[in-house]
Amino acid sequence: MSNKKAIVIGSGVAGMAAAIRLAVQGFTVTVYEKNDYPGGKLSAFEKDGFRFDAGPSLFTQPQNIKELFELAGEPMENYFSYKAVDIACKYFYENGKIIEASADAVIFGKELEEKLGEASGTVEAYLKKSEKVYTHIGSIFLNYSLHKRKTWLNKRVIKALGAVKMGYLFKTLHKHNKSKFKSAEAVQLFNRYATYNGSNPYKAPGMLSLIPHLEYNEGIYYPLGGMISITDALYKLAIKKGVQFCFNTPVQKIINHEGKVRGVVANNENIEAGIVVSNMDVYFTHKYLLSNEYKAKDVLKQERSSSALVFYWGIKKEFEQLQLHNIFFSDNYQAEFDSLFKKKTLQNDPTVYINITSKMEQGHTPDGKENWFVMINAPANVGQNWPLIKEQARKKIIEKINKILETDIEPLIETEEILDPVTIEDKTASYQGSLYGTSSNSKLAAFLRHPNFTTAIKGLYFCGGSVHPGGGIPLCFKSAQIVCELIKTEQRAH
């Protein structure tokens, strides 16, 4: 058996990024994917002339993709292009206030000064701190395995840990934001960043205040062709580097021989490899592929992230007052998160997010129409009555949109598709349909997330949203990078 053979289970962004990196490192790589398409959650579809991104809609840190193309020695512009977005998000509040959050921190600061009475320089100071936390602490936590002794002996890491102000760990994001902004609207706006990894701002640590740095200091981008162009680019690059994809091929088992990985079972056949990287949700990897119920249960010690209900609507009108990213906030944010995480249901007035890619380029809809991706946070699936919840949520969303946009949206919906937590679990094997694996709803979440390897089985690694450093596209790329660096180091040692 050649240990230069690597198998990747799953073709999510992290799986494909790992496959590309391993091919560049000289491995013969095969990706096994249970679906008949690559990308996992990052997929798209068309209906009645409307094009929709099915999953992620927010794109930051394009450098993660650039880095892969550079490593592979391929010109990225032949595969993938993107442009900066001027308005990061437009926020609508129940009290009638509207905030247009410019991606330019100074303009954004002025907007919060004028509309919310925040003191001059407050936003800039917050974002400067956010940058500091990201560059000194966050980037280290995101770029290394936290479960290797070597990491803790690294001078940069020791310095970074020394710089972690305990307040960031022991204060919640909400408390942190409350100490920085005087208006309830600004606090709500900055609390929202906890949802970027499916968490509750009233529980998650203040450390998550580093996320706005990515949007306002580094920038928000739009991939031309929509988010699906990320999947397309990674897939084409992987093929170019010789990676083989086997679609409609679920892996049934990971072969463990005396603590060493020997390959996988798919199509009831043993397929040999010295390296196996699982991009499948780590809970299901332990439960089904390793038949280790005990380890699977251990993963569940950390709360799952939130899930989502998405209504994809083809709208037969253009709404000038909307941008690419729009948020219609709920009046009682704390009650919304209590419902999501404690009661595991939806509250009466959910926060509604609307993404419209037809604002950015033509050809996504027939003329004069828009493709609305309407999403609300939903609890992870624990067997709720989803048909009823969907029906109630649709009604509430429509009421909210009608009120805020002073319209009657129902007759303008020309076509509709719906995604719920059960479908998310079915399509991508994400336990309970969670979008980001585990949440950050505890002070030490970053340290508790599942490692990218296991000491029990040599040669087996884990990447993707359910393991360190966490969910969301940028972090999935980081997990692939950490895994491939670990493999490189371990190969060198032999």
Ligand X SMILES: Cc1cc2nc3c(=O)[nH]c(=O)nc-3n(C[C@H](O)[C@H](O)[C@H](O)COP(=O)(O)OP(=O)(O)OC[C@H]3O[C@@H](n4cnc5c(N)ncnc54)[C@H](O)[C@@H]3O)c2cc1C
Residue 251 engages ligand X in binding (rule: CB under 6 A): yes
Strands (E), 386-453: 413-419
Residue 250 engages ligand X in binding (rule: CB under 6 A): yes
Nearer to ligand X, 197 or 365 (CB): 197
Question: What's the CA gap between 455 and 58, in Å, rounded?
Answer: 35
The residue from 186, 255, 308, 380 that contacts ligand X (CB under 6 A) is 308
The residue from 65, 473, 484, 487 that contacts ligand X (CB under 6 A) is 473
The residue from 5, 6, 7, 15 that contacts ligand X (CB under 6 A) is 15
Interactions with ligand X, residue window 63-102 (CB under 6 A): none
Nearer to ligand X, 274 or 474 (CB): 474
**Cβ-contact 187, 177 below 8 angstroms:** yes
Strands (E), 249-389: 251-257, 260-266, 269-272, 275-278, 307-315, 325-328, 352-356, 370-378
Nearer to ligand X, 55 or 459 (CB): 55
Minimum CB distance to ligand X, residue 62 (Å): 12
The phi and psi torsions of 273 (rounded to 5 degrees) equal -165, 150
Residue 424 engages ligand X in binding (rule: CB under 6 A): yes
Cα 380-381-382 angle, rounded to 5 deg: 110
Interactions with ligand X, residue window 161-180 (CB under 6 A): none
Minimum CB distance to ligand X, residue 410 (Å): 23
Q: What DSSP line would sit under 40-61, residue for residue? A: TTS-EEEETTEEEE-S---EE-
**Cβ-contact 309, 389 below 8 angstroms:** yes
Minimum CB distance to ligand X, residue 406 (Å): 28
The residue from 191, 423, 428, 439 that contacts ligand X (CB under 6 A) is 428
**Within 10 Å of residue 182's Cβ, how many Cβ atoms?**
12
Nearer to ligand X, 157 or 280 (CB): 280
Nearer to ligand X, 116 or 220 (CB): 220
- Coil, strand, or helix at residue 320? coil
Task: State which residue has the least CB distance to ligand X.
Answer: 12
CB environment 17-53: b (16+ within 10 A), e (fewer): bbbbbbbbbebebbbbbbbeebbbbbbbeeeeebbbb
Residue 393 engages ligand X in binding (rule: CB under 6 A): no
Nearer to ligand X, 109 or 464 (CB): 464
Residue 212 engages ligand X in binding (rule: CB under 6 A): no
User: Which pair of structure tokens corresponds to residue 94?
Assistant: 């129940």
Residue found by looking up tokens 């993963």 in the block: 299
Q: Which of 67, 21, 18, 33 is nearest to 461 (CA)?
A: 18
Window of 10-18, 63-71, 140-148, 356-364 that interacts with ligand X by CB under 6 A: 10-18
Residue 478 engages ligand X in binding (rule: CB under 6 A): no
Residue 62 engages ligand X in binding (rule: CB under 6 A): no
Q: Which of 200, 276, 285, 281 is nearest to 467 (CA)?
A: 281
Nearer to ligand X, 32 or 141 (CB): 32
- Which neighbouring-strand residues pair with 313? 372, 416
Could you list the residues that contact ligand X (CB under 6 A)? 9-15, 32-35, 40-42, 55-58, 250-251, 279-280, 308, 310, 424, 428-430, 435-436, 464-465, 471-473, 476
